[in-house]
Amino acid sequence: TYVFLGDGCMMEGVSHEACSLAGTLGLGKLIAFYDDNGISIDGHVEGWFTDDTPKRFEAYGWHVIRAVDGHDAAAIKAAIEAAKAETKKPTLIITKTTIGFGSPNKQGSHDCHGSPLGLEEVALVRKTLGWEYEPFVVPADVYEGWDAKAKGAAAEQSWNDKFIAYKSAHPELAAEFDRRVIKGDLPADFAAKAEAFIAESQAKGEKIASRKASQNSIAAFVPLLPELLGGSADLAGSNLTLVKTSKGITAEDASGNYLYYGVREFGMSAIMNGISAHGGFIPYGATFLMFQQYAANAVRMSALMKLRNIFVYTHDSIGQGEDGPTHQPIEVLGSLRMTPNLDTWRPADAAEAAASWKAAIERKTGPTALVFSRQNLDHIARTGAQVADISRGGYILVDSVGEPEAILIATGSEVGVTVKAAEALKAKGRSVRVVSMPSTSVFDRQDAAYKESVLPISVGARVAVETAHVDYWYKYVGFDGRVVGMTTFGESAPGPALLEHFGFTVDNIVSTVEELLED
């Protein structure tokens, strides 16, 4: 695996996270080129970057090859061969280069970092380099030297021939390689076994935290899927991502299925991107939901690149209590949901947690964020049809006789209290519906008829309930609707006290609905 780094990359904190872990794990097949030209956008880096980079990487446990002439192909090739010879450590090849090489007036300066040279300077570069050809004219010998079609076709044919021989000698392993790496398919019986586990989770009726329900799902699915590669950013005991079949990956033994990432949320998320892009694995990595913001760029890139990642986030609300507002996410759910091509699930109980894991594993076209609670959640009664409809992202959980006067929409830990509020409203003679919406993006992709059946346009009185910022929910309740949610940061107090303080109670939800109907 080859990686290219610049001065800016070395300044970014994520380079420390990833390179430190690479050294610890002894990734001998990792070769990184550092383009050491001493320039960043603002100018010469001496004013803001004076690290001794070789010593830094040696301290990580890397093999460092210093001062390679980055303009000398033979020197670079020799460095690559030396790097390949080192199999116990990753290698950093430090190539000394001149930015804008050949430009008489701009080389070695930030003037050519992100700006065109200009026609006059380009003409001077041609003269300096002895390049006599017109723009877009490539000499035949140069073209042939860089034309990789024939070499690529030969390499592909060689690989195909080797795989045919491998398939003959090891048919079962070859079939597994074809399924996991080439096609990215799941085992043929996975869907049926996953649905059986969802039904079992519903039947058990356990009152557990959704993070515990997530762990139960991992325990059920890991034995079925050798491609599941887990991990946590030093929070395995809190995220509950370790199961009996988890085996840690170390420098001495890479046969495991679990990476201890250490306190490296950003690095973890970026590393997952690399693993997913490589293929053959479905990575899942966990941290607290609040810490997602530190890793947000990597999660965004995962969505942009349509990578098959599963981001697991626990401790999802003010319900976690005493850790206080620094650890209580208010704005994060909205940010996740507004990220294109990222499916976000916030399950209400064990059955929804199992269904969300199934959806995340089966999804090939992008990443999924699974958001779980710290506190125990009530079990929700459902029919078989309702269990099946969890996969649609939003569904009718409690319905009225005839068209409802009002619709209550809730997610995650707030579904239970919303159902109780609906019961109280019905006892007062009100006709209400409760919609559980664990994944808004999945619900939004349903056909118009289904969405109309769940949220009929004729019912304008709508209330959303979630321990997150209120703004996101107005797309579902309308400007005339109400949201029982958060508009401030949380506080440090026991979780139940905070939920009551911020209005996540039966009484407040009931009064909110009644006021809306009276208006």
**Domain spans in the chain, listed from the N-terminal domain onward:** 2-149, 150-183, 190-371, 392-518
The pLDDT tens digits for 23-47 are: 999 999 999 999 999 999 999 999 9
- Rounded Cα gap, residues 436 and 445, in angstroms: 16
Task: Give the tokens for residue 26.
Answer: 């002894």
Considering the domain delimited by 392-518, tell me its CATH architecture: 3-Layer(aba) Sandwich (3.40)
pLDDT at res. 87: 97
Candidates 345, 374, 379; CA nearest to 490 is: 374
The pLDDT tens digits for 106-124 are: 999 999 988 899 999 999 9
Give SS3 for 113: coil
Check pLDDT > 90 for residue 519.
no
Average pLDDT for the chain? 97
Candidates 467, 506, 501, 452; CA nearest to 348 is: 467
Task: Give the tokens for residue 2.
Answer: 């080859």
pLDDT at res. 207: 97
Per CATH, the number for 2-149 is 3.40.50.970
265: annotated active-site residue? yes
Task: Give the tokens for residue 225.
Answer: 């899927």
Which of 129-133, 338-342, 451-455, 484-488 has the weakest average pLDDT? 129-133
- Rounded Cα gap, residues 130 and 484, in angstroms: 71
Per CATH, the number for 190-371 is 3.40.50.970
Overall average pLDDT of the 387-398 stretch: 99
Overall average pLDDT of the 358-380 stretch: 98
Is the separation of the CB atoms in 428 and 405 below 8 Å?
no
pLDDT at res. 457: 97
- Rounded Cα gap, residues 136 and 104, in angstroms: 22
Fold equal for 2-149 and 190-371: yes
Candidates 396, 320, 382, 328; CA nearest to 350 is: 382
pLDDT at res. 114: 84
Give SS3 for 172: helix
pLDDT at res. 42: 95
DSSP state of 31: E
Is the separation of the CB atoms in 308 and 335 below 8 Å?
no
The pLDDT tens digits for 169-188 are: 999 999 999 999 999 999 99
Phi, psi of 410 (to 5 degrees): -145, 160
Overall average pLDDT of the 61-86 stretch: 98
Check pLDDT > 90 for residue 137.
yes
Phi, psi of 151 (to 5 degrees): -65, -40
**Cα–Cα–Cα angle for 278, 342, 187, nearest 5°?**
50
- Report H helices in 68-209: 73-85, 119-129, 140-146, 149-169, 171-177, 190-204
Per-residue pLDDT band for 510 (boundaries 50, 70, 90) equals: very high
Overall average pLDDT of the 412-437 stretch: 98
Catalytic choice (17, 121, 227, 265): 265
What are the DSSP calls for 212-280, one per residue?
A: HHHHHHHHHHGGG-TTEEEEESS-HHHHT---TT--B--SS----SEEE--S-HHHHHHHHHHHHHH-S
pLDDT at res. 366: 98
For the CA atoms of 10, 11, 16, 18, the dihedral, rounded to the nearest 10 degrees, stands at -60
Candidates 389, 379, 381; CA nearest to 438 is: 389
The pLDDT tens digits for 194-221 are: 999 999 999 999 999 999 999 999 999 9
* Residue 81 C-beta-side C-alpha neighbours within 13 Å: 6
Overall average pLDDT of the 229-239 stretch: 98
